[in-house]
Every structure is written in C-alpha cells, then in structure tokens.
Amino acid sequence: MPSSDLSDFSGACARPPLLALRNICKTFPGVRALRNVELTAYAGEVHALMGENGAGKSTLMKILSGAYTADPGGECHIDGQRVEIDGPQSARDLGVAVIYQELSLAPNLSVAENIYLGRALQRRGLVARGEMARACEPTLARLGADFSPVACVSSLSIAQRQLVEIARAVHFEARILVMDEPTTPLSTHETDRLFALIRQLRGEGMAILYISHRMAEIDELADRVTVLRDGCFVGTLDRDHLSQAALVKMMVGRDLSGFYTKTHGQSRQGEVMLSVRDVADGVRVKGCSFELRAGEVLGLAGLVGAGRTELARLVFGADARTRGEVRIASPAGLVTLPPGGPRQAIDAGIAYLTEDRKLQGLFLDQSVHENINLIVAARDALGLGRLNRPAARRRTTEAIDTLGIRVAHAQVNVGALSGGNQQKVMLSRLLEIQPRVLILDEPTRGVDIGAKSEIYRLVNALAESGVAILMISSELPEVVGLCDRVLVMREGALAGEVRPASSAAETQERIIALATGAAQPAAGWVGTPLAAAGNAAAAGNATSSMLH
C-alpha cells in the first residue's frame, strides 16, 4: 500500500537516503504547482516518478536541477546534509544531473566539447580540444559508446546523443541522475541498450530518478515508485507492492479496470465510408488497399518506419499520390476524392489528427480558444469578414467541458498546457468539422494515463455514433483493446489483417509476426495476408526497430 516510510525499500532502513526532499512547495502566479511534496532516493536505486501530465513531476525535477527555486519552508538533504540548490551550477556541484526529453546538446560541437559544455578546458587562452577528447575516452568506453569523442554530435543518432548526455553526468561524477521520458524517441533495441546502461549505473551506486508514463518500463526497472497527483504527494510503493492497477488508481484517483475495453459493437457497423485502392507514393508506400466502415475502429500497426503515417497522409491528401484512388461515401454513393490537398479531404468529411501535435497540429503561441475555432471560424461568419464571436465562445466552452480540457481560462496559450490537454484541444478542433472519417495518428503519444482513458472513451463514443475511425498506434495493447480489426504494414505494404483472437497476447503475437515477416500464417490463423494488387511484399527480416 502507498507509504512514505523509508523502510519500504528493501534494505533502505540500514542506510540513510542519498537524496531526501521534504515539504517541497512551488507557487506560480495564480497556480499552486506543488504542495508539500516528499521524495527520497537511495544510492543504487532506480526510483520512478509517476503522475498525470500536470501532476508536478517536471516542476519537482526543475527544482532539483536548480532551474526553479522552491518556496520557503521546504528542505533538500543530500548525504544527510541540508543543502540549498540556488541554480543549475549549484545542482551540478552537488552531483545532480538531469536529462530532459529535449536533449540539451550543441549539435555543431564535438562529443567531448558537449561533455565539457560550460566547463571547457583551456590552455593559454585556447580551448584544449585534444585534452578534453582524451579525458572523455575512458568514460565513453565504460558506457560502451560506439562513437569517437571527436565526432560531431549532429552526426549521431538520437540514442547516441542521449548517451552523450549520460556520459556528461558520469564524467563529472554525478550521483543523482534524473531521466525524463528517456525512451520516447527510441526503438525497442535502443531502449534495451538504455535499460542495460541504467542497470549498470545503478550497480555502480548511482541514484536514478526515472520519469515515465509507460507501465512496462516501470515494472522492468523501478525499485520504488513515487506518485504525484495535482501537485501533491500521493504515496510511494516498493517493488513488492507494484501493480498497474494500484499505480493507475494512485495517479488518477479512480479505478480504470476497463482501460482498453471496446464498448462499440461490430453489429452497429454500417456502409463503407472510405475505400482506398492501390495507393502509393513511389517511395515509402507501395500500393495499399483497404475499406473502412461506419462505426468501425480499424487499427494500423507495424514497425517504426513501416509506412503507417505516410499511408495516412496520402489518404488525407497531405502528400501527393503517384497512383491509386481514395473514395469516400456521399449521398450518391462512393465518390472519388480529387487530389489537391487536405482542404478537399476536410470538405469531404475526413479529419486527420497528426502524430506531431507541436510541429504540425497546434499553434502553440495562440490561445486554446483560437486553436479550437481555427478551422470552422469562417463557417458561421456574419458576412463582410465579421466573425461570429458569441458562437466561437460557445464552441470553446462546450469543447472544454465535453473533453475535460484542464485550463484556467480559454485565453491561455496552448503551448503552456500539458501534453494530454494539448491533444484534447487538437481533437476538439477536428470534431468541430463533424467528420465522417477520422484518422488518428498516435492519438495517445506522450499523454498520461488519465488523458488516455478519456481519449479511449471518446474513440468508443465516436464509433458508436457511426464515425469511421482509422487509428495508428505503436502501443499494441491499445490497438488490440480498441480496434475491431488491425491492418499490419511491413516495408510500405499491407502485410496482413488480424482480427481479435481469444486472448490479447495471442493477437499481439500475430501482429508482430506479420510486422516482422517472422512467420507465415498457419492453419486456423485469424490474421491473413492481403492479396490485393500491390500488396505482395517480400518477407522482411525482423529489424531492431520493433513496435514500442
């Protein structure tokens, strides 16, 4: 059961914690971000920090890193000594290192120069690049780096750049390492390597604070888990008491036992709403064909790079097709969607939720109100260029209430919201066009458990109302739990179709087998290869970039 007692970590009572935060509070103008939060971490421990978006995790870590200053009254102890962290340099001097989701590297500098960033060695007024490179070699070798200290960071992969951040912390003997959603940009193979490195650092006595929304990662790595909710400390669980049900209940304050439950029924599926025939782009997508019915949730799964997003963009008209046809239902039957761009698709009743909400979906420097009304403002204009402001305000209020968007007021900039609330804003904008076909590309990426639950509820409700939904997701439990059937892509082609089997695990295995080309369907197989023109793909080898 939840506890803040230090003895709940095996062996912890025999030694003092390396880090102890007590009664940490933080207030911003008009917002109480943290209220009497507690956290302890021991040397040689992976301590996970969980909570919904907006729960206060990032604020707490920024206080620990020196980016924020806590309100008076709280205490921070390192090695049993009370300390004051009054800036980033102070945190580094105390042995605290933070690796944020957005890596803080200078891409135009070398690996060694990034490791020494802000502390560059100089000899006679010149930067001693060679000396820094030689000094970094033992650290990089210790971490198993496969790149040189003189390599330019811009030439490295995301996983390698993340390793540079870790090397910086290790090189300067950080004892407390904070990692914020470190696996978000990584493939499964890269994630496995990261986990091995985390275990190595834990074995060497480092205390690792690990922030993640992914239950599987917490189960695999965490010795203890502390949960925050609405800026408050909820409790700490040791490994022996960890369970997904307990953590979810602590995070959201309610039971989500039916988390992936599909409530819409296949019996309610109606006419074909979308027909895609032999669609290709000449590069990433190789002649794909499928149909989508009213009231159906059709999943699109595959390995990273299989072409799922590219196919969705071709259907929506965001990218140009080299061949193929997209038809959508109309009162006169299926009609061909003319090429020309997304406007034609939107006018025909197709809405597309992009996987990258920050770069392609939202205007982060504009308000929630402006983002919600962006597409439909002209629809109810009063003429002569005048906007119907009362109608826009009603629309915004209804969207905030219906989707549960947590915002102080509608004029707050979208960029200031949590990931889950940003996703809800983008969904509310799309729903205002009253789509008949809704394409969802990674709809729950980077959102917390509570927001996921609300998005799943919305997906079920839309399907129940007759909307045809094409959902792309890299989370197999999500695909299996919500979709009526799943199309699997491999190397730009549709490799097969999977319908739910007797168990979720069996269905996931079938999806992976088709996605990797690891096996051909056997007798009684629910998933079958697609034989439509252009869908014959050579059996691909299992790659290191698996579904995640």
Q: Tokens for 167?
A: 């090397």
Q: What is the sign of the dihedral through the CA atoms of 112, 116, 118 and 123?
A: negative
Q: Is 79 left (phi over 0), alpha (psi -120 to 50) or beta?
A: left
| Whether the predicted pLDDT of 114 surpasses 80 | yes
Q: Which of 145, 150, 149 is nearest to 160 (CA)?
A: 145
Percent of the chain at pLDDT exceeding 90: 42
User: Which of 101-105, 239-243, 287-291, 349-353 has the largest mean confidence?
Assistant: 287-291
Q: Tokens for 107?
A: 């891409």
- pLDDT band for 341, please (50, 70, 90 cuts): confident
How confident is the model at residue 413, as a pLDDT?
85
| Whether the predicted pLDDT of 532 surpasses 60 | no
Edge-to-edge order in the sheet of strand 19-28: 81-83, 75-78, 19-28, 31-41, 232-238, 224-229, 45-50, 207-211, 176-180, 96-99
Q: Is 302 helix (H, G, I), strand (E, B) or coil?
A: strand
Q: Tokens for 527?
A: 């998933």
Q: Tokens for 336?
A: 């061909």
| Whether the predicted pLDDT of 10 surpasses 50 | no
Instruction: Return the higher-pLDDT residue of 244 and 297.
Output: 297
Apex CA 92: angle with CA 86 and CA 96, to 5°? Answer: 100
Burial 135-151 (b: 16+ CB within 10 A, else e): bbeebbeebebebebeb
| Whether the predicted pLDDT of 356 surpasses 90 | no
Residue 465 CA, chain-centre distance (Å), reads: 28
How confident is the model at residue 254, as a pLDDT?
59
User: Which of 182-191, 310-319, 388-397 has the largest mean confidence?
Assistant: 310-319
- pLDDT band for 534, please (50, 70, 90 cuts): very low
| Whether the predicted pLDDT of 486 surpasses 70 | yes
Instruction: Return the higher-pLDDT residue of 400 and 202.
Output: 202
Q: Is 66 helix (H, G, I), strand (E, B) or coil?
A: coil
The radius of gyration computed from the CA coordinates of the chain, to the nearest angstrom, equals 25
How confident is the model at residue 5, as a pLDDT?
38
Instruction: Return the higher-pLDDT residue of 264 and 276.
Output: 276
| Whether the predicted pLDDT of 328 surpasses 90 | yes
Q: Is 496 helix (H, G, I), strand (E, B) or coil?
A: strand
Kindly report, residue by residue over 167-216, the tens digit of the pLDDT: 999 998 999 999 988 887 777 788 888 999 999 999 999 999 999 877 88
| Whether the predicted pLDDT of 466 surpasses 90 | yes
| Whether the predicted pLDDT of 334 surpasses 80 | yes
- pLDDT band for 408, please (50, 70, 90 cuts): confident
| Strand ranges inside 361-400, DSSP E | none
Structure pTM?
Answer: 0.60
Kindly report, residue by residue over 366-375, the tens digit of the pLDDT: 888 887 887 7
Alpha-carbon gap, residue 513 to 195, rounded angstroms:
25
Q: Give me the residue label for tokens 């997304």.
A: 342
How confident is the model at residue 244, as a pLDDT?
78
| Strand ranges inside 223-377, DSSP E | 224-229, 232-238, 272-280, 288-293, 297-302, 323-330, 333-336, 350-353
| Whether the predicted pLDDT of 330 surpasses 50 | yes
List Cβ neighbours of 244 (8 Å cut-off, separation of 6 or more).
215, 219
Q: What is the amino acid identity at position 261?
A: T
Task: Compute the mean pLDDT over every residue in the chain, rounded to the nearest whole number.
Answer: 82
